[in-house]
């Protein structure tokens, strides 16, 4: 595999090796890469932590960062995504990081370009580097992923984080359960739905999702006022979690909606640790793609390990 666009495309072995690599980088750092590389960060949707942690990851690896703001670029003159990406490839970008509101865009670019493409979130499709940093955070907590019971809670239908994590965690042997109000269930994911109360009482990880207001129609917006009480992580529910269980959320957090604001930095919360791990996870992905000259596959891991 020459790109990092979907958790679907990675084997259990590849996933685990990436988790271990990112865990190692988070603990011991990593030397900058020896060759000169240029990273192009094409963000067509707002982002704080994904974009900034990609930039920090690139700078730590000694990569020249080609930043791009679509509203100050020739996108405003009507240039297509393909022509924009081909332009970056032509001027010497070594890889492209793409965030876009349309599903499957990263995969399409990967098919069209000869440089690695990294998916930084494509519509309701996938967000594989978010998933990798989530896997690393869980691994650091429990020293394993297999056998853990993990609840993905909230706006499952519109969440690319839910999709990537459900796929990856299932591949790694975790017991994935979902929890959502009826309108936001995604029946394409083959995992059981539990009530929020059953989920918080029985799971090792309670992974909350941001309500994706920007992907909703008017009808679903009206549910949010009573959401915390009916479907979110309240102070009362947190008290019923297992002693060792942890709380996760990809952020940005709608405080007081998916989670009581007081729980965002509580003892069980790993929300800011997830963000910290985002740098190491992205360093692991970028360096794996570049060090192999684009050849990032099971063979590579077998040879090295």
* Residue 122 C-beta: closest distance to ligand CP, Å: 12
* Residue 265 C-beta: closest distance to ligand CP, Å: 17
Query: DSSP string spanning 258-293?
Result: TB-GGGTTSTTB-HHHHHHHHHHHHHHHHHHHHHTT
Nearer to ligand CP, 252 or 256 (CB): 252
**49 carries a ligand binding annotation:** yes
Nearer to ligand CP, 2 or 137 (CB): 137
* Residue 162 C-beta: closest distance to ligand CP, Å: 12
Report how far residue 64's alpha carbon sits from residue 38's, in angstroms, rounded to the nearest whole number: 5
Report how far residue 66's alpha carbon sits from residue 68's, in angstroms, rounded to the nearest whole number: 6
Among 6, 26, 50, 94, binds ligand CP (CB under 6 A): 50
**86 carries a ligand binding annotation:** no
* Residue 131 C-beta: closest distance to ligand CP, Å: 10
**210 carries a ligand binding annotation:** yes
CA proximity to 75, closest of 50, 112, 100: 100
H or E element at residue 140: helix 128-142
Q: Would you say 207 and 180 are in contact if contact means Cβ atoms under 8 Å apart?
A: no
Interface characters, 222-261, with ligand CP (x: CB under 6 A) = ----------------------------xxx---------
* Residue 260 C-beta: closest distance to ligand CP, Å: 20
* Residue 278 C-beta: closest distance to ligand CP, Å: 8
Say how many C-beta atoms besides its own lie within 10 A of residue 164's C-beta: 26
Residues 116-175 binding ligand CP (CB under 6 A) are: 121, 130
**Binding to ligand CP by residue 276, rule CB under 6 A?**
no
Nearer to ligand CP, 49 or 59 (CB): 49
* Residue 49 C-beta: closest distance to ligand CP, Å: 4
Whether the upstream peptide bond of residue 242 has omega within 30° of 0, thus cis, is no
Among 49, 59, 242, 276, binds ligand CP (CB under 6 A): 49
User: Pairing between strand 246-248 and 205-208?
Assistant: parallel
**50 carries a ligand binding annotation:** yes
Among 47, 87, 170, 224, binds ligand CP (CB under 6 A): 47
Three state DSSP letters for 67-132: EEEHHHCHHHHCCCHHHHHHHHHHCCCCEEEEEECCCCHHHHHHHHCCCCEEEEEECCCCCHHHHH
Residue number of the CB atom closest to ligand CP: 50
Annotated binding-site residue numbers for carbamoyl phosphate: 49-50, 99, 127, 130, 251-252
- Going by the annotation, the residues of the binding site for L-aspartate are 77, 160, 210
* Interface positions with ligand CP (CB under 6 A): 47-50, 121, 130, 250-252
């Amino acid at each position: 595999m020459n790109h990092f666009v979907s958790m679907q495309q990675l084997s259990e072995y590849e996933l685990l090796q990436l988790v271990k690599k990112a865990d190692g980088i988070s603990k011991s750092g990593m030397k900058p890469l020896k060759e000169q590389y240029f990273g192009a960060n094409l963000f067509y949707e707002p982002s704080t932590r994904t974009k900034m942690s990609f930039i920090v990851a690139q700078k730590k690896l000694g990569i020249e960062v080609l930043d791009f703001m679509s509203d100050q670029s020739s996108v405003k003159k009507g240039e297509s995504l393909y022509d924009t990406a081909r332009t970056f490839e032509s001027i010497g970008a070594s890889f492209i990081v793409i965030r876009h509101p349309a599903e499957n865009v990263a995969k399409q670019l990967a098919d069209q370009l000869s440089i690695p493409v990294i998916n930084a979130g494509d519509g309701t499709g996938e967000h594989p580097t978010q998933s990798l940093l989530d896997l690393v955070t869980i691994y650091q907590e429990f020293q394993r992923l297999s056998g853990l019971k993990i609840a993905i809670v909230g706006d499952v239908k519109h969440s690319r984080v839910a999709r990537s994590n459900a796929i990856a965690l299932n591949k790694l042997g975790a017991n994935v359960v979902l929890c959502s109000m009826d309108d936001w269930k995604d029946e394409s994911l083959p995992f059981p739905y539990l009530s929020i109360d059953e989920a918080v009482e029985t799971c090792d990880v309670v992974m909350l999702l941001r309500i994706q207001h920007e992907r909703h129609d008017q009808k679903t917006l009206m549910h949010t006022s009573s959401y915390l009480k009916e479907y979110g992580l309240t102070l009362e529910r947190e008290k019923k979690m297992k002693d060792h269980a942890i709380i996760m959320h990809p952020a940005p957090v709608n405080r007081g909606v998916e989670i009581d604001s007081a729980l965002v930095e509580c003892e069980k919360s790993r929300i800011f640790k997830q963000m910290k791990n985002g740098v190491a996870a992205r360093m692991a992905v970028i360096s794996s793609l570049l060090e192999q000259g684009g050849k990032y596959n099971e063979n590579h891991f077998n040879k090295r390990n």
